[in-house]
């Protein structure tokens, strides 16, 4: 079981430290043991509670290891798997957005790779213009940010170094054009 002081990956808030375990009451239920997280800056902290009994179901987990990080980078280099090929753009965005709140960082890496190959998220544009406000770019930004956070921690790299590495990984698998639509099929360099 997780303990106070441990660094964990929260499916919504990303990497954070368990501040304490204390009794809390939620939604009219009786008090129960909850993990307490202090999220935000030192000037503006928000307290987040997660019932201990729901930690696994909610997706609370330990950060990835260095070996897992290497596997995650390999996933980003692989050809896209076509999972989004037959979906309408709105359905693609909904599925991609759902991946952001899952605890499986490897599935998030697959989603980033696949999404970037469909042409919704311009990978070069993302890495060169972080102020883009298109919904697709915002989703891509959040997903890549989660990857950068975990990969940087596990590898001891800076966020900037990891951003460059992710960009290079995503460029290794180039999209194939089938008809008028850029499809999820890819070929490697």
Higher-pLDDT residue of 21 and 130 is 21
Residue 156 has pLDDT above 90, yes or no: yes
Pair 118, 137: CB distance under 8 Å? no
If one counts every other C-beta atom within 10 angstroms of the C-beta of residue 103, the result is: 16
pLDDT band at 186 (very low <50, low <70, confident <90, very high): very low
> pTM of whole model > 0.85?
no
* Beta-bridge mates of residue 23: 33
Q: Which helix (H) or strand (E) holds 8?
A: strand 7-10
Residue 107 has pLDDT above 80, yes or no: yes
pLDDT for the residue numbered 173: 61
Mean pLDDT for the chain overall? 81
Residue 93 has pLDDT above 50, yes or no: yes
- C-alpha span between 4 and 144 (Å, rounded): 28
pLDDT for the residue numbered 183: 37
pLDDT for the residue numbered 79: 84
pLDDT per residue as tens digits for the range 36-70 = 999 988 888 899 999 999 999 999 999 999 999 99
pLDDT band at 150 (very low <50, low <70, confident <90, very high): very high
């Amino acid at each position: 079981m997780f303990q106070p002081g441990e660094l964990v990956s929260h499916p919504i808030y990303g990497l954070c430290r368990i501040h304490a375990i204390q009794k809390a009451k939620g939604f009219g239920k009786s008090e129960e043991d909850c993990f307490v997280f202090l999220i935000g800056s030192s000037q503006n902290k928000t307290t987040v509670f997660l019932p201990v009994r729901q930690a696994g179901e909610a997706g609370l987990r330990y950060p990835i290891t260095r070996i897992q990080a290497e596997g995650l980078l390999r996933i980003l280099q692989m050809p896209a798997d076509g999972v989004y090929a037959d979906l309408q753009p709105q359905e693609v965005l909904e599925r991609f957005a759902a991946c952001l709140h899952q605890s499986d960082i490897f599935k998030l890496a697959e989603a980033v790779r696949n999404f970037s190959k469909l042409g919704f998220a311009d990978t070069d544009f993302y890495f060169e213009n972080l102020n883009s406000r298109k919904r697709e770019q915002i989703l891509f930004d959040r997903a890549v940010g989660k990857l950068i956070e975990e990969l940087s921690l596990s590898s001891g790299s800076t966020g900037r170094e990891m951003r460059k590495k992710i960009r290079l990984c995503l460029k290794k698998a180039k999209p194939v054009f089938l008809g008028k639509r850029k499809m999820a099929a890819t070929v490697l360099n």
